[in-house]
A and B are shown apart, each in its own frame.
Chain A
């Protein structure tokens, strides 16, 4: 297993956003996390990525206990993520955004740059450019991230996340606002990445995308895990149906 949470819980005020969630994600899996609005998916993810501390429970990543570690430490350990609604560095260029993404893997070069001799980060820039290429953004490398169209911004965020060579990639509602062509492109990308050994935790409302791309799916409702299994199993589960109140194609 690559990621395991045991009894993860977190409340805000009186509200239990996440209540005793146990989850296991195996390496190179594409794991989907779904649930109605307010089910606690993003809170769960924020705990896993280090932005929130749990009230109770533990998070294990690659055999180590990472509960409560700061986001930047987790990034170095190999957890990367995108954010709901895209959080790019809008005033930086597309290329710079990806370079920041490589921060965890780059050698700090401030001292070396004091000697005016060349750009020591050529290798990293190459990697950044090839990532942009892969995401179809190479032509826009010099544009400011805030100038990109929404779909391009999402792809940039993924490129940035991949730049840190993560072992686990968390995608928080990457398909929101995407058209069918774009989301099938996303599905293909996720399959490719998983084939190359990357583990993906996908949070999504687009049930079609989840069912088509994921190996396993877990369902949260009111902070609890109410179902888990293959996409087909979960789809058949009456508790899941009830949670969504029959709204099956929430895109």
Chain B
């Protein structure tokens, strides 16, 4: 039982890191960034590169993953989203441009590393066990949970208490007013993407460590879960994304007890569907009346 809870918290933390980045971009820029799973995957591969090719220790690799994917996020916006934003293109167009980028990036990674599962070089990823009572838990997961919590707190601090965070909030609420009030829009957008992608990439690196495995397609299944997390927690709400992440993780781990493994995925989407029907604004979202 303790193992189940431990696993749920661990999975929830990964979901949370991933979904928070996704929700951040959505809430600030109204963009459904379907290239987000790509940065997740990229983070893992940057970590691999750092460890296997550059010979760096794993904790440096994590930092590198964060920074590299953060920068990639800014690049992604410049190439795929900013031009569309400038001409006021519909949301659908940004979805498609992010898909296009995904195609290119996934292929590039596959060209270098192939499409199969890869493991980290022996001994480079910390692997230790913790005994608590009857249960034997994998130690790296504690690190991940702790990292996730620290980052979540860091993000909250960033958004609430820093000037760039204030700029981001202004941008989220009313871009036009923000511009008039002198907010440096470009900087706020860049910061949003840096944080969003950096967190996503970090989540990927951490997950790769936890399972000692990565592959070019690792982001995709997570993407669909991210939708569930966002909708359950409330579209665009960051705390909602975090809550939604843990709700989903606990739900999935719990459902494994009662449902066959193949139907576990159905839980996520069934939940998503139900929430969308019953309460589309999610747990923490705002009601948006259609004014006449």
Which residues of A line the B interface, CB within 8 A?
Answer: 42, 46, 51-52, 83
For residue B292, CB closer than 8 A to chain A, the reply is yes
A83 to B292 Cα, complex, angstroms? 8
Q: What 5 A-B pairs come out closest when comparing CB atoms?
A: A51-B292, A46-B292, A83-B292, A52-B292, A42-B292
Q: Contact mask B260-292 → A, CB, 8 Å, 1/0?
A: 000000000000000000000000000000001
* Residue numbers in A under 8 Å from B292 (CB-CB): 42, 46, 51-52, 83
* Residue numbers in B under 8 Å from A51 (CB-CB): 292
Interface residues of B in 136-170 (CB under 8 A from A): none
Which residues of B line the A interface, CB within 8 A?
Answer: 292
A32 to B139 Cα, complex, angstroms? 75
A46 to B292 Cα, complex, angstroms? 7
Interface of B, helix, strand, loop or mixed by DSSP: loop
Count of A-B contacts with CB under 8 A? 5
* Residue numbers in B under 8 Å from A52 (CB-CB): 292
Interface of A, helix, strand, loop or mixed by DSSP: loop
Supply 5 A–B pairs (Cβ within 8 Å), ascending by A.
Answer: A42-B292, A46-B292, A51-B292, A52-B292, A83-B292
Query: A172's closest neighbor in chain B, by CB?
Result: B292
Taking the nearest CB of chain B, how far is it from the CB of A251, in angstroms? 23
Taking the nearest CB of chain A, how far is it from the CB of B119, in angstroms? 54
A42 to B292 Cα, complex, angstroms? 9
A245 to B60 Cα, complex, angstroms? 70
* Residue numbers in B under 8 Å from A46 (CB-CB): 292
A51 to B292 Cα, complex, angstroms? 8
* Residue numbers in B under 8 Å from A42 (CB-CB): 292
A51 to B291 Cα, complex, angstroms? 10
Taking the nearest CB of chain A, how far is it from the CB of B236, in angstroms? 22
Query: A83's closest neighbor in chain B, by CB?
Result: B292
Taking the nearest CB of chain A, how far is it from the CB of B172, in angstroms? 24
A52 to B290 Cα, complex, angstroms? 11
Taking the nearest CB of chain B, how far is it from the CB of A26, in angstroms? 26
A52 to B289 Cα, complex, angstroms? 12
Query: A49's closest neighbor in chain B, by CB?
Result: B292
Taking the nearest CB of chain B, how far is it from the CB of A78, in angstroms? 20
Query: A51's closest neighbor in chain B, by CB?
Result: B292
* Residue numbers in B under 8 Å from A83 (CB-CB): 292
Taking the nearest CB of chain A, how far is it from the CB of B150, in angstroms? 39
Query: B290's closest neighbor in chain A, by CB?
Result: A51
A46 to B290 Cα, complex, angstroms? 12
Taking the nearest CB of chain A, how far is it from the CB of B289, in angstroms? 8
Query: A45's closest neighbor in chain B, by CB?
Result: B292
A124 to B9 Cα, complex, angstroms? 65
A187 to B292 Cα, complex, angstroms? 25
Query: A71's closest neighbor in chain B, by CB?
Result: B292
Query: A84's closest neighbor in chain B, by CB?
Result: B292
Taking the nearest CB of chain A, how far is it from the CB of B262, in angstroms? 43
A83 to B291 Cα, complex, angstroms? 11
Query: A43's closest neighbor in chain B, by CB?
Result: B292
Taking the nearest CB of chain B, how far is it from the CB of A234, in angstroms? 26
Taking the nearest CB of chain A, how far is it from the CB of B287, in angstroms? 10
A31 to B263 Cα, complex, angstroms? 62
Taking the nearest CB of chain A, how far is it from the CB of B290, in angstroms? 9
Query: B289's closest neighbor in chain A, by CB?
Result: A12
Taking the nearest CB of chain B, how far is it from the CB of A139, in angstroms? 29
Taking the nearest CB of chain B, how far is it from the CB of A55, in angstroms? 15
Taking the nearest CB of chain A, how far is it from the CB of B163, in angstroms? 34
A26 to B169 Cα, complex, angstroms? 53
Taking the nearest CB of chain B, how far is it from the CB of A68, in angstroms? 16
Taking the nearest CB of chain B, how far is it from the CB of A163, in angstroms? 20
A249 to B292 Cα, complex, angstroms? 26
Taking the nearest CB of chain A, how far is it from the CB of B153, in angstroms? 34
